[in-house]
């Protein structure tokens, strides 16, 4: 191959690489991680972007309804629920938006940590978003006696095109 052809191929490859990098930068990283204090009823800013999906904030609460089907009578018969006296529900409400018309699935992982940073419990759930904005409620059953031990929460988000 002659020298001008090599330069042309090199420039073309460089242009394609630059386009791919700028496209990925527009989409944002596919992963996000942040550790936040565990405070009930307080809105915590995340300002996360995974792919085209934005997760602006999170709010922790403890709903009194028992947390859904696992805590119901049918859930207990199937073995999915525990005693309401020993278990509680932690709800993490994520303000999530995907302006893109394509569906993106976000995987939310929460590590509940004590004062020393030791893991108390972990929950991982995924949800698909397609051109919508909504508050995604991640409900997690946890033993009630560990609730006072939770000091902070490490949040990890991952997005993938579906």
Q: What is the CATH number of the domain that holds 83?
A: 2.60.210
pTM of the complete model = 0.74
Look at residue 83 in the predicted model and tell me its pLDDT.
61
Task: Measure the CA–CA gap between 36 and 45, rounded to whole angstroms.
Answer: 9
Tell whether 11 is covered by a domain. Answer: no
Look at residue 10 in the predicted model and tell me its pLDDT.
57
Tell whether 5 is covered by a domain. Answer: no
φ, ψ (nearest 5 deg) of residue 23: -65, -45
Element (H, E) at 113: strand 87-113
Tell whether 16 is covered by a domain. Answer: no
The residues pairing with 45 across neighbouring beta strands, listed in sequence order, are: 57
Binned at pLDDT 50, 70 and 90, residue 57 comes out as very high
Tell whether 12 is covered by a domain. Answer: no
Look at residue 162 in the predicted model and tell me its pLDDT.
85
Tell whether 3 is covered by a domain. Answer: no
Tell whether 7 is covered by a domain. Answer: no
Tell whether 6 is covered by a domain. Answer: no
The residues pairing with 127 across neighbouring beta strands, listed in sequence order, are: 106
Task: Measure the CA–CA gap between 124 and 94, rounded to whole angstroms.
Answer: 14
CB 120 within 8 A of CB 149: yes
Look at residue 20 in the predicted model and tell me its pLDDT.
41
Look at residue 6 in the predicted model and tell me its pLDDT.
67
CA 108 to each of CA 40, 54, 111, 136: distance values in angstroms, whole numbers, following the listed order: 19, 13, 10, 10
Tell whether 127 is covered by a domain. Answer: yes
Which class for 3: exposed (0-12), middle (13-18), buried (19 or more C-beta within 10 A)? exposed
Binned at pLDDT 50, 70 and 90, residue 8 comes out as low
What range defines the domain where residue 142 resides?
Answer: 28-161
> How many structural domains is the chain composed of?
1
């Amino acid at each position: 191959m002659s020298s001008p052809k090599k330069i042309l191929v090199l420039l073309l490859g460089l242009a394609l690489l630059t386009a791919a990098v700028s496209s990925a930068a527009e989409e944002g990283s596919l992963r996000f991680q942040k550790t936040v204090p565990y405070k009930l009823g307080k809105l915590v800013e995340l300002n996360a972007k995974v792919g085209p999906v934005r997760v602006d904030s999170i709010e922790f609460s403890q709903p009194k309804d028992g947390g859904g089907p696992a805590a119901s009578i049918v859930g207990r018969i199937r073995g999915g629920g525990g005693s309401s006296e020993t278990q509680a529900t932690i709800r993490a409400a994520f303000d999530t938006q995907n302006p893109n018309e394509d569906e993106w699935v976000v995987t939310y992982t929460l590590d509940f940590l004590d004062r020393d940073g030791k893991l108390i419990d972990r929950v991982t759930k995924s949800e698909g978003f397609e051109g919508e904005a909504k508050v995604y409620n991640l409900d997690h059953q946890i033993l009630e006696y560990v609730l006072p031990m939770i000091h902070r929460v490490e949040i990890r988000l991952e997005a993938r095109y579906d």
